[in-house]
Amino acid sequence: MVRAYEGMPAEDLEKAEAKIMEIKSKLDQGGDWDELTRQFSEDPSTSNAGGVVRWFGSGDIIAEFAEPAFALENKGDISRPFQTPYGWHIVKLLDKKPLESLDELKDDLTKRIERDERSRISKKMVAKKIKKESGFAYQASTYALAEKAVDERLTQGQWAVPDTLAYADSTLVKLNSRSYSLGDFLGYVAEKQQKNKRGTALEMLKGIYDQYEQELLQTYEEENLANTNEAYAMLLKEYRDGILLFQLMDDKVWSRAVADTSGLKSFFELNRDKYQWKERADAVVLNAESASTLDTALLLLGAGWVSYDSRQLDPAKLDTVQLRNFARRARKGERIWLGGTNLDTKGKIALIKAVQNMVGEDKDVEFDPKAAADKEKLTVTLQSTSAKTLEKVLNKNSALAIKVNEGLLEKKDSEAFDQVEWKVGEYRFEKDNRFYYVQIKQLQDPQPKELNETRGLVISDYQNLLEKDWVNGLREKYEVKTDEKELEKIIRKLEKGT
């Protein structure tokens, strides 16, 4: 998997797509699946296990992933790259289980059917059951009035309720305490009528009434399902209780832990010993597809500043949106290198100041003193000392050309550390057809983390404390009683699997 999700910069989305296509190309050329997964997959839970995921069925995972996965027919087949809301994927079929036989599925199917009583009984039997439960009453004499009110215009779809309708308030149907009048029904008839040459007006009226009655019964059942279906009532109660619990937890624990910055800081200070860095190295790890690519990377890195983008512009149009947006791409600590114009010293100083105002004081702006071939144009170059910049420069033609990891790293942060001595020095080695360079500049002893370095974990622990204190407070305020008989019933049901 290569991460690519809504909200990422367009440039990163393009790189993710290029990377997955490059991985697929290597697979097509005979590349080792496990090795490529280990090196380039961005799913931390599966990358070191060949990308293997648990068994899943068509309803267990999102459709965007399931469809291409189930389209694979033979063991070892590999899909084309495809995209889901989480990123780009390539799937390899390891095994497939056929659908179990009816005997094997019987118990599970039986339980599913039993959980939905309506799916087991015909509509007619359901209607009969609801009528009995609701005290359904039908007035044939009122229906006879409806028959007199319609005519053959009903078969043309042009019938209308008479302006003066006798007995409009007469009850036609009664469910429980609710009554539905002749006027209610004939209004429904006018709404549902359709042109039909096959039947008489009375036959059409009967068909519309059957539909009307079915809708009334269905509405009654839905409104009273919690009273007639214990399983649904329990599910509804669980849903309502769940919402209430969620709101309480959010109020008392989750949002409070995030909003209570002073409480969070105090909690962190009291538990600093729990949040510790292990021994770390200030290091750079380069992982290249070839020895020549690695040599090029080291040459660029050795020069100090790595140029990763350049534009030629007219110095007379400095304050343009184009230059402003381009120069602002430089990150904090990087610099904008200007050159190639015939401005005098005073003009160059003004130029540097103008660009500096555009990008902010946290980025350096300098002028190249060397002469340029085209002095009428201003060359604007973005430069960085970060090794990570090498990916922008060297991965333009191949997304897998080089992978860079740099900064304060623990041993677990890069498998390359397993191949070298854990001490200051520079190391080169080849492993699994990839070429590595490791530079350990300095080792740092284990030390406490700062709050901003472990905020997520601290918030989680603080939430656990708030929840524990909240529950203890409830126990002190209210007596907790357990109905042992009901508990035994629940245990027996669970043991029986019902």
Does 261 lie in the same domain as 302? no
Whether residue 296 contacts residue 494, with contact meaning beta carbons closer than 8 Å, is answered with no
* CATH number of residue 31's parent domain: 3.10.50.40
Tell me what pLDDT residue 320 has. Answer: 59
Tell me what pLDDT residue 375 has. Answer: 59
Question: How many H helices and E strands in the chain?
Answer: 17, 16
| Residue 476 located in a structural domain | yes
| Residue 29 located in a structural domain | yes
Q: Quick one: DSSP state of residue 331?
A: P
H or E element at residue 429 = strand 425-431
Does 403 lie in the same domain as 339? yes
- Rounded CA gap, 306 and 299, in Å? 10
User: The tokens of 254 are what?
Assistant: 């989750």
| Residue 96 located in a structural domain | no
| Residue 99 located in a structural domain | no
Per-residue pLDDT band for 371 (boundaries 50, 70, 90) equals: very low
Does 419 lie in the same domain as 303? yes
Tell me what pLDDT residue 494 has. Answer: 84
| Residue 113 located in a structural domain | no
| Residue 486 located in a structural domain | yes
Percent of the chain with pLDDT over 90: 44
| Residue 103 located in a structural domain | no
Per-residue pLDDT band for 369 (boundaries 50, 70, 90) equals: low
Does 442 lie in the same domain as 454? no
| Residue 198 located in a structural domain | yes
**Tens-digit pLDDT profile for residues 421-436:** 999 999 999 998 899 9
- Rounded CA gap, 33 and 51, in Å? 9
Give how many domains the chain has, as a whole number.
Answer: 4
Mean pLDDT value across residues 59-80 = 88
**Tens-digit pLDDT profile for residues 137-188:** 999 999 999 999 999 899 888 999 988 888 889 999 999 889 999 999 999 9
Does 426 lie in the same domain as 284? yes
Does 427 lie in the same domain as 291? yes
Does 366 lie in the same domain as 239? no
Does 317 lie in the same domain as 398? yes
Strand partners, 365: 336
For 251, the domain range is 232-274+450-498
Q: Where are the alpha helices (DSSP H) in 151-275?
A: 182-192, 201-228, 230-249, 255-259, 261-270
Domain boundary among 406, 432, 447: 447
Higher pLDDT, 216 or 323: 216
Does 395 lie in the same domain as 307? yes
Q: Which of 288, 383, 374 is nearest to 327 (CA)?
A: 383
Beta strand pairing status for 364-367 and 335-341? parallel
Tell me what pLDDT residue 341 has. Answer: 60
**Tens-digit pLDDT profile for residues 343-357:** 666 766 777 777 777
**Tens-digit pLDDT profile for residues 236-269:** 888 899 999 999 899 999 898 888 899 999 999 9
φ/ψ region of 30 (left if φ > 0, alpha if ψ in -120 to 50, else beta) reads left
pLDDT surpasses 90 at 411: yes
**Tens-digit pLDDT profile for residues 13-23:** 988 999 999 99
Does 289 lie in the same domain as 265? no
Does 317 lie in the same domain as 409? yes
pTM above 0.85, yes or no: no
Higher pLDDT, 306 or 340: 306
Domain boundary among 416, 432, 447: 447
Question: How long is the chain?
Answer: 498
Does 414 lie in the same domain as 487? no
Q: What is the mean pLDDT of the chain?
A: 86
pLDDT surpasses 50 at 120: no
